[in-house]
Amino acid sequence: MHIDRLDHLVLTVASIEASVDFYTRVLGFRRITFGGGRTALAFGDSRINLHQAGAELSPHAFRPTPGSADLCLLTATPIDQVRAELEQHGVAVELGPVPRQGAAGPLRSVYLRDPDHNLIEIANRAE
């Protein structure tokens, strides 16, 4: 077997609408509706499917819990501009910019929290 890439992941959230608002308004994702009214957030060739806590679709994670995710998202936008845009939206930057190691090499990252307190790392590939 050879796995090529991640297609989507699922976040269990306390409020689908609060998550959609944050990810579309702050991070520029697109809301999509699929499969009989399900909600997802699209970006690039990937997406995040949203499950409402307490009403998860089966099968689901063993312990689906809002706030348990830790995601790293790559951007071509300079990380200092990312930090400034986050601050313009009133989103606190928890850490960064700081050097980190990504799957394909070094990164320069900032960390923030979404409405469920998931840890979101936004990063540039470092030279």
d(CA 112, CA 43): 18
Q: Among residues 56, 85, 87, 121, which one is catalytic? A: 121
Q: Which residues contact 120 (CB under 8 A, 6 or more apart)?
A: 71, 73, 111, 112, 113, 114
Would you call 8 exposed, middle or buried from its count of C-beta atoms within 10 A (0-12, 13-18, 19+)? exposed
- Based on the residue annotation, tell me whether 121 is a catalytic residue of this protein: yes
Catalytic residue list: 121
